[in-house]
Amino acid sequence: MCAREGIAGGRPKPLPMVLDSPYEIARVDASGMLSMVLRLGPMISEGWHAAAGIHPPVARPTAAVVCGMGGSGIGGDLLQVLLAPASPVPVVCVRGDRLPAFVGPDTLVFLCSYSGDTEETLACGDVAVAAGAVPVVVTSGGRLASRTRERGHPLVVVPGGLQPRAALPFLLMPLLRIAAAAGLGREREADAREAAGLLSDLANLWNPEVPSAANPAKRLAEALRGTLPVIYSASPDTEPAARRWKTQLNENSKVHAVYGSFPEIAHNEVVGWDGAGNDAQPRSVVVLRDRDDGPASEGRVEAARSAAFLRARSISDVWSVGSGRLARVFSLILFGDLVSVYLAVLRGVDPTPVAVIDAIKQRPRRV
C-alpha cells in the first residue's frame, strides 16, 4: 500500500501521541472494533469455507440479484465488480425492499443480512419466493435463517456476535464461491488464499503497535481529522471500496463523508469544488488507485487535482497492493477500515456503537 499525502497550505502538523498510545486506543475503542478490523484476513478464509457444500439452486441463471442493506449490502457491490469481466449474465444489487420485475425461477437470488432481521431483505426474500426463485441466504441467524430452514432453501450460516460492517468477508466470500459454482465466473479459491494472506501481512504493517512515523493509516487519519472526507475511486472497478470508506467513516468515525468515482465525477461533481461559499467546512480528498486504472484514468485524476481540488486541505493517493483483483480491493478496504478507526480514536469516540441506527430500527416494522 502506498499512501501519498499532500497537505495544502504548508507542512503537516505534528501527529498527536494518542495513536501511539495503546492505553488511549484501548480506552476509546472500548468495544474492540480495531481487533475486528485486524481479523479481516482470517475472516476471508473462514467466509470461503462457510459456503462449502452449498450448491446453487439454478444451474444456468439468467441473472444474479444480491439483496442487502448497509454493511450487509457492500458484498453485493463487490461481487458485481469482481464478476463483471467474466459473468455471462447481469449482476444486480438491490438496496431496498423491491425486486426487479425480471426475477423468476431462473434468477440466482442472494439474500444477505448479517443479523437475519433486516426488514428490507426479509421482504425481498418473500417477493423472490413468490416469483418462483429459490434464494441463497447468507446470515448469522434471525428470522431470515428460520424462514430459510422452513423453506428448505440453501443457507450459509456465518459466525455471529459482530457488527455487520465488521463481518464483510463472511458475507462476500460465500457469494463468490456460490456464484462461481453457478458459472458466473472462474473458481476463486486461489484468490481467497492470496487475499487472506495479504491482509494478515498488511495488518501487521498498519496495526496500532506500528508508530505513526511508519504507519500510513495513522497519518491519513490525522490528515482527515477536522475535515469532510471526500473519497474518490480512480475507476469504477474500485468504486465499492470508495463506498466502503465512506460508510466506515460514517459508522466508525461518526463523521459525514462523500464518495464518488471517476470518470463520472469529472462530468458533474468537480464543479462543486469551485465557487464562493464552498469552504465552510475544510475538505480532504482521498483517491483510491489501482494498477488496472489505465492511463485515461490517470489523466482525469491529475486534471482534477490541478483544476478542481485546489481548495482541498489535503489530497492523498491510496494505492492497492496484491496480485489478484480480490486481494487488491481488500487491501484498499482494510486500509480504509483502519483509517476510520484511528480517526475515531483521534476524535475520542468509540467506533462500535451506532445509536442512531439502533434507534431507527426500533420503529414499528412490518411482520
Distance CA 55, CA 65 (A): 16
Q: Is 251 a catalytic residue?
A: yes
Which string of b and e fits 153-164 if b means at least 16 CB within 10 Å?
bbbbbbeeebbb
pLDDT at 11: 45
| C-alpha grid cell, residue 350 | 468509540
CA dist., res. 301 & res. 316, Å (int):
12
Q: Is 361 a catalytic residue?
A: yes
Q: Which of 222, 239, 251, 254 is catalytic?
A: 251
What pLDDT digit, counting tens, does each position of 323-348 carry? Answer: 999 999 999 999 999 999 999 999 99
Domain annotation for the chain: domains and CATH numbers: 2-37+207-347 (3.40.50.10490), 40-192 (3.40.50.10490)
Q: Specify the amino acid at residue 47.
A: G
pLDDT (0 to 100) of residue 186: 87
Length of the chain: 367
Smallest CA-to-CA distance from 175 within 245, 111, 118 is with 111
Read off the pLDDT of each residue in 27-40 and give the average, rounded to a whole number.
Answer: 97
> DSSP secondary structure string, 45-89?
HHHHHHTTT---S-SS-SEEEEE--GGGTHHHHHHHHHHTTT-SS
Asked if residues 93 and 240 have their Cβ atoms less than 8 Å apart, the reply is: no
Residue 364 pLDDT class (50, 70, 90 cuts): low
256 classed as catalytic: no
Which position among 13, 55, 256, 361 bears the catalytic label?
361
Q: What is the pLDDT of residue 105?
A: 98
For residues 175-202, give the mean pLDDT.
Answer: 96
Q: Is the pLDDT of residue 5 over 60?
A: no
The Cα–Cα gap between 301 and 299 comes to: 6
Hey, which residues does 109 pair with through a beta bridge?
A: 65
- Is the pLDDT at 249 greater than 90? The verdict is yes
- What local confidence, expressed as pLDDT, does residue 13 receive? 52
Beta partners for residue 261, in sequence order: 233
- The residues near 175 (Cβ < 8 Å, ≥ 6 apart) are 66, 75, 76, 79, 110, 112, 138
Q: How do residues 62-116 score in pLDDT, each as one tens digit?
A: 999 999 999 899 999 999 999 998 899 999 999 999 999 999 999 999 999 999 9
Name the more confident of 186 and 217: 217
Q: With beta carbons less than 8 A apart as the criterion, state whether 345 and 29 touch.
A: yes
Whether residue 78 contacts residue 33, with contact meaning beta carbons closer than 8 Å, is answered with no
Q: Which three cell numbers stand for residue 33?
A: 472494533
